[in-house]
Structure 1
């Protein structure tokens, strides 16, 4: 079964990291990603941009585009992982590995009922961060 692990965090905390702290955090997270990739469990993963740059589409018909994230919460959705795990317990274990290296984050684990893998985005095959995550 596929599970989504949604990574919530206080956005200001992440934005206040020094470049060195952010690089260290990403290094540790990419180590977990690389292991999950080697195990054949990790699908798409993304670090999302700032919520200040987000818009939400809601309402009837064509909807209305409004500024900002969809909810007023203390933590914001800052990233996500898609894992292929045999059980919810295995997905929880993977989320615990992520939390071990990023202990102030909150991870929501949710079954995915419909999954389309999409396509590789042009240009990602040459990016070092994508290569590092995929190769382990």
Structure 2
């Protein structure tokens, strides 16, 4: 089963990290990703560019606006997708993600089961 892990961060907190701490955090996440890649469980992992768009229907036509459609202190900064044998394994991976514990930098992770082509989880 595949799971999407959405990584949340707080821009104010992240931008206040000293350069050495940020480099250390990035190294921790890179090592985490490499372990998952070696186990064959990592499907994809990408950071997101900070210029999202929201597309919503407004009358008969879709309207495109800047940014996330909800005001929030936290934002989605990256994601990764794993393909694992069980939800328990996915939760184990989610709990081990270094960014949610590292140095009190804040943020969190949401775990979403992905649908298969047939529409089931």
Give the TM-score, by structure 2 length: 0.82
Residue in 2 that maps onto 1:129 = none
Which residue does the alignment assign to 1:132?
A: none
Any conservation in 1 of the 2:100–2:109 contact (CA below 8 Å)? no
Structure 1 residue 62: deviation in Å?
4.6
Gaps of 5+ in 2: none
Superimposed CA distance per residue, residues 2-39 of structure 1 (whole angstroms, 9 cap, x where no aligned partner): 00011111122122223322211110011110101110
CA distance in 1, matches of 2:87, 2:69: 27
Alignment of 1:1-136 (within 5 A): 1-50=1-50, 53-60=51-58, 61-98=60-97, 100-103=98-101, 104-114=106-116
Cα pair 1:11 1:78 within 8 Å, conserved? no
The answer to which structure has the higher helix fraction is 1
3-state SS in 1 of match to 2:49: coil
CA RMSD of aligned residues (A): 1.8
Contact 1:25/1:102 (<8 A) preserved:
no
**1:101–1:22 distance in 2 versus 1, CA, 3 Å:** same
Q: State the shift of 1:46 in Å.
A: 1.0
TM-score by length of 1: 0.74
